Chains A and B, each alone.
Chain A
Amino acid sequence: TQLLEQSPQFLSIQEGENLTVYCNSSSVFSSLQWYRQEPGEGPVLLVTVVTGGEVKKLKRLTFQFGDARKDSSLHITAAQPGDTGLYLCAGASGGGADGLTFGKGTHLIIQP
C-alpha cells in the first residue's frame, strides 16, 4: 500500500508570512497533484507535477516534485487570508486510472 505523509497537519500564520507544506512517501509516483479544498466543497486541482525535479509556479504558490518522484512541496509566499483552506497532495501510479493516493491534508489558516 502506498502512503503519502503530509506535514504539517495544521498551520496558522499571519498574513504576509511564508510557509511550506511537505508531502513525503517511500513509493515512487508517476505524477503528484496538489488540491485545495474549501469547507462544503470538493477538492480543486491546483497543479500536477510529473517530472522528477520539476518546479511549477502558480502566482505566489511554488510546487516542487522531488528528483526521485517520492516527495513534493508546496511553498506559499506572502500568504493572504484567501489562501486559507485544506491543502491535499495526491500521488498517481501508472497514469492514475486506478485512483489516487491522498495525504491526510494540511489545514491552513491565514490570519489577517
Chain B
Amino acid sequence: NAGVTQTPKFQVLKTGQSMTLQCAQDMNHNSMYWYRQDPGMGLRLIYYSASEGTTDKGEVPNGYNVSRLNKREFSLRLESAAPSQTSVYFCASSEWEGRVFFGPGTRLTVL
C-alpha cells in the first residue's frame, strides 16, 4: 500500500514554461486535493475533486488547471509558470470523514 504518490519530487522551471504534476492514490478514496505550502502561509487549497469526474476551485486556483483522470489519479498543470508559483505542492486524498492523507510533495522552483 503506497498511499499517495507524487512525481516529480523536484522541478526547476523557467518563467513561461509549462509542466504537469502527477498524483496517484491506492486507497480507493473518492476525494483528492492539491495544496501548496509556502513559508508563513501554511497550506492552501488550489483545487479539489470530491469524486471522479468532478473538480472545483479552492482558495488559490489562478494559474493552475487540474484533471481527475480516474479515481486513482489527479494531476495539476501549470500552463505558464511564474516565480510566484515557486512552492512545495502536496497532493492528498481523503475518506468522507475528512481524514486526509498527504503525498511526499513536489518542490518547484520557477526562475
Contact = CB atoms under 8 A, between A and B. Distances in A.
DSSP majority for the B interface? Answer: strand
A103 interface: yes
B12 interface: no
- Chain B residues touching A, range: 20 to 34
Contact of A99 (B30, B33, B97, B99): B33
A95 B97 contact: yes
Given A92-B98, A102-B42, A97 B50 contact: yes
Interface in B53-111: 56, 58-59, 90, 92, 94, 96-105
A24 B84 CA distance: 29
Nearest to B40: A104
Q: Is the interface of A mostly helix, strand, loop or mixed?
A: loop
A74 interface: no
A100 B42 contact: no
A33 B98 contact: yes
Interface string A80-91: 000000001010
Interface of B: 4, 30-31, 33, 35, 40-45, 48, 50, 56, 58-59, 90, 92, 94, 96-105
